[in-house]
């Protein structure tokens, strides 16, 4: 490890302090932060049969969260998870990260805890930190750039009439937590956990992509809004069955449709891909379940319609209800 390098502080952090801080971060990350030390990191070629995808995402105090809402560990983990979720939505397996930290003057005591939080989803994904930046600023901010490998990258624009719509996980937690936090109430444990400790669904995204998904997006703006993005990109209409939505305890359907920062995946899949997807899910305890919640039709926009997915559909198609 070098004292400066692709993970840099410039003079903005002031003399030796920046390098000391970078050293402490890189030491803390251990083998998760490999090959830090040059002006830029050299990337190996993507694994055979894959293409490399890239995305960048910002998590800013006062905008994405307020002081006191998240522990420093949660801040770090959540920022990385939000970025990894963009890879998940492409069907890509995480490979590399670059992290640009902005620290308030009071932030130095917390930065190692933020780094510990960062390490959790990075280690869990088997990814590596290959670069970054450290600077002072008025507020905490973490800009995370993520690179991943996809055998079959899935765009937003590939949904076709006749496709089924599936969503991973259980919706509504982050929205309910945010409602409580903004009302100065303590969020209940499940919503708080979903808000403060979301999980990037890259395992699910890879399986959906390789299982034939025609379009995919992560639920960051809320299911209804992200469904509208997918519908618009694909030039189709999406019809959601409210009775089918996987909604958390005590969450109203409307609230689940509006709940943002879920980091679950919404995918369109050809109906005949369903049995193989169910088979891939079976017996894999690491995977969040997925649920068929609607279908793709000709037209535009998003409609919510009871009965759009017939009862017993999964059975008729030979699939199983998700675990």
Q: What is the b/e burial string over 252-282, where b = at least 16 CB atoms within 10 angstroms of the residue's CB? A: eeebbbbbebbbbbbbbbeeebbeebbebbe
Q: How far apart are CA 263 and CA 85, in angstroms?
A: 6
Q: How far apart are CA 65 and CA 86, in angstroms?
A: 19
How far apart are CB 217 and a second copy at their closest, in Å? 6
Nearer to a second copy, 158 or 275 (CB): 158
* Span from 38-46, 242-250, 287-295, 311-319 in contact with a second copy (CB under 8 A): 38-46
Whether 214 contacts 159, CB under 8 Å:
yes
How far apart are CB 307 and a second copy at their closest, in Å? 30
**Between 180 and 219, how does the x/- string for binding to a second copy read (CB under 8 A)?**
------------------------------------xxx-
Q: How far apart are CA 251 and CA 247, in angstroms?
A: 6
How far apart are CB 320 and a second copy at their closest, in Å? 28
Tally of CB atoms within 10 A around 161 = 14
- List the interface residues with a second copy, window 122-141 (CB under 8 A): 130-133, 135-139, 141
How far apart are CB 190 and a second copy at their closest, in Å? 21
- List the interface residues with a second copy, window 152-181 (CB under 8 A): 153, 155-157
**Between 8 and 27, how does the x/- string for binding to a second copy read (CB under 8 A)?**
x-xxx---------------
Q: How far apart are CA 19 and CA 126, in angstroms?
A: 26
Among 145, 193, 253, 320, which residue interacts with a second copy (rule: CB under 8 A)?
A: 145
Whether 156 contacts 221, CB under 8 Å:
no
Q: How far apart are CA 93 and CA 50, in angstroms?
A: 10
Nearer to a second copy, 50 or 320 (CB): 50
Phi–psi pair at 270, nearest 5 degrees: -65, 140
- List the interface residues with a second copy, window 240-269 (CB under 8 A): 260-261
Nearer to a second copy, 192 or 201 (CB): 201
* Span from 165-173, 229-237, 271-279, 285-293 in contact with a second copy (CB under 8 A): 229-237
Whether 236 contacts 301, CB under 8 Å:
no
Q: How far apart are CA 264 and CA 82, in angstroms?
A: 10
Nearer to a second copy, 99 or 292 (CB): 99
- List the interface residues with a second copy, window 74-103 (CB under 8 A): 85-87, 89-90, 92, 96, 98-100, 102
How far apart are CB 285 and a second copy at their closest, in Å? 26
Which residues 6+ apart lie within 8 Å of 80 measured at CB? Answer: 97, 99, 117, 118, 121, 122, 142, 144, 146
How far apart are CB 77 and a second copy at their closest, in Å? 18
């Amino acid at each position: 490890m070098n004292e400066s390098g692709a993970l840099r502080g410039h003079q903005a952090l002031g003399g030796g302090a920046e390098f000391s801080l970078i050293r402490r971060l890189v030491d803390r990350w251990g083998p998760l932060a490999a090959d830090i030390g040059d002006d830029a990191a050299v990337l190996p070629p993507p694994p055979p049969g894959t293409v490399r995808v890239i995305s960048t995402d910002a998590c800013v105090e006062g905008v994405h969260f307020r002081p006191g809402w998240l522990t420093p560990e949660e801040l770090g983990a959540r920022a990385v998870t939000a970025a990894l979720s963009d890879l998940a939505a492409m069907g890509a397996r995480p490979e590399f990260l670059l992290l640009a930290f902005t620290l308030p003057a009071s932030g130095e005591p917390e930065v190692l805890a933020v780094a510990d939080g960062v390490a959790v989803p990075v280690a869990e994904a088997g990814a590596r930190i290959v670069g970054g930046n450290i600077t002072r600023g008025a507020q905490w901010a973490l800009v995370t750039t993520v690179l991943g490998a996809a055998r079959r990258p899935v765009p937003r624009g590939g949904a076709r009439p006749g496709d089924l719509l599936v969503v991973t996980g259980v919706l509504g937690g982050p929205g309910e937590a945010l409602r409580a936090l903004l009302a100065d109430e303590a969020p209940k444990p499940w919503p708080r956990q979903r808000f403060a400790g979301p999980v990037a669904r890259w395992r699910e995204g890879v399986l959906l992509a390789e299982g034939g998904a025609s379009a995919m997006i992560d639920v960051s703006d809320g299911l209804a809004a992200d469904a509208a993005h997918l519908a618009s990109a694909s030039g189709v209409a999406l019809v959601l069955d409210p009775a089918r939505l996987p909604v958390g305890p005590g969450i109203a359907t409307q609230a689940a449709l509006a709940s943002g920062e879920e980091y679950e995946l919404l995918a369109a899949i050809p109906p005949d891909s369903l049995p193989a997807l169910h088979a891939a899910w079976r017996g894999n305890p690491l995977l969040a379940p997925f649920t068929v919640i609607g279908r793709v039709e000709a037209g535009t926009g998003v409609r919510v319609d009871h009965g759009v997915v017939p009862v017993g559909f999964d059975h008729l198609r030979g699939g199983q209800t998700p675990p």
